[in-house]
Amino acid sequence: MDDNGWESAVESRLDFLQRENRELKAAMKDLLRENENMKSEFETMKNILRKHVQDTDDKLKKQSKGEEIVDSVEDNFRSDLGRNEQRVARIVPPSSSSSVSSIAFYSYLSKNSGPITAHHTMVYDNLHINRGNGYNKYDGIFIAPVSGVYVFHFSVCIGGSAYASFEILVNGEVIGAVNEESHAGMGYREGSNLVVTFANSGDHVFIRTQKGTTGYLFSNDILPPDTYPAPAVAFYAYLSTNSAPNLSVHHLIVYDVIHINRGNGYNKGDGIFIAPVTGVYAFHFSVCIAKGGGFSWVPLQLTLNGNVLGATFEEGLDSNVGNHCSSGLAISDVNVGDHVFVRTQQTTSGAIHSSPVGRTSFSGWLLYR
């Protein structure tokens, strides 16, 4: 090909590339234009969605306020028409997402009540604590502020010739009951019960009498004012390891690990509890033996100033049947300075076992002064 031919071919190729470049530029402009249109449509859709969310949120807030008003009206109606002037200082949120951090209440009858009849809702009018504001002392009803597992305890005290049977209900369904009976000359009788149940936010929990309930309910301070509250006295100690084998008769057991020692009455150096105050005490003691080493026999005594309060024992007839534990509990009047301790009743056979599998322990606590 001569020079003229080469020049013609190059010019032709150059023209083609220039046309293609112009077409690409035009396509690019179209794409940019479409992109701008899409961005505009996206902003429009975003604004629409934002407005929709705001409208929905406003509706939910209005609905929530409406439900709170309904709850408030319901509470006031339930309080009894004759008590409209009394204030019910609580607001129970309708939602289970309440931010209540603690819920607890304790209330009791401020005075004796009766005569009582069947299906009478008990109104415990003296409110000692009401965390979460769930209990209403004007109608006796607890309304769960949040959904969860609750523990409820209720008691009844009667005197003279009376029979009282109480039941606890959640939304009208009975989940527990207690009854007590007394006769003339018997003094006062008291019974109690405890239930654990799941309650949803807004559920109603209350106590009412069952059929056959007659007589009067007793509610008053039994103990003199200067006997309550009692100072905190409580201890719990255990053996850190197994004892030596074949302990001698009246060998004092020294529980060398103290978990709690309120009142500092227990001494882990000698195993003796010295009462810091006079009162009624409860004492619990346990003994464990382990398999192996042949026949085992460990009898223990709980003593007050050397006098036996209680006793327990454990034995292993077959060294291959595993570990064994037993325990005893005693309640006694104890004067300040009295000595309480645990000792062997007679010479033991084998060692006393104590490990995380089974602890040989000694504990006690002041019930009241």
pLDDT at residue 141, as a whole number = 95
Q: Please give the structure tokens belonging to residue 252.
A: 């004092």
pLDDT of residue 93: 41
* DSSP output for 38-100: HHHHHHHHHHHHHHHHHHHHHHHHHHHHHHHHHHHHHHHHHT-GGGTTS-------SSTT---
Across residues 334-357, what is the average pLDDT? 90
Half-sphere exposure of 130 (CA within 13 A, CB side): 23
Instruction: Please check the confidence at residue 225 and state whether its pLDDT lies above 50.
Output: no
Mean residue pLDDT across the chain: 79
Among 38-42, 49-53, 183-187, 253-257, which range has the highest average pLDDT? 253-257
Q: Is the confidence at residue 263, as pLDDT, over 60?
A: yes
Residue 127: per-residue pLDDT: 86
pLDDT band at 289 (very low <50, low <70, confident <90, very high): confident
pLDDT at 230: 47
Q: Give percent helix, percent strand, percent coil of the chain, each to the nearest 5.
A: 20, 40, 40
Per-residue CA distances from 303 to 118, 126, 253 (Å): 48, 42, 12
Q: What contacts 288, CB < 8 A, 6 or more positions away? A: 314, 323, 324, 325, 352, 353, 354, 358, 359, 360
The H-assigned helical ranges of the chain are: 3-78
Q: Would you say residue 47 has pLDDT above 90?
A: no
Residue 334 to residue 56: CA distance in whole angstroms: 69
Rounded average pLDDT over 316-331: 72
Structure tokens at 86: 């009394």
What is the torsion angle, in degrees rounded to the nearest 10, for the CA atoms of residue 61, residue 63, residue 64 and residue 68? 140
Q: Compute how many other C-beta atoms are within 10 angstroms of the C-beta atom of residue 340.
A: 23
Report yes or no: 289 and 323 within 8 Å, Cβ to Cβ: yes
pLDDT of residue 292: 60
> What is the C-alpha to C-alpha distance for residues 341 and 339, in angstroms, rounded to an integer?
7
Facing residues of 342 across strands?
Answer: 302
Stronger pLDDT, 244 or 56, i.e. the higher one: 244
Length of the chain: 369
* Digit-coded pLDDT (tens) for 168-183: 999 999 998 887 776 6
Antiparallel, parallel or unpaired: β 307-316 and 296-304: antiparallel
What pLDDT is attached to residue 294? 64
How far apart, in whole angstroms, are the C-alpha atoms of residue 297 and residue 241? 18
DSSP for 6-37, written as a single string: HHHHHHHHHHHHHHHHHHHHHHHHHHHHHHHH
Q: What is the pLDDT of residues 275-285, one digit of tens each?
A: 999 989 999 99
Contact call for residues 156 and 192 (beta carbons, < 8 A): yes
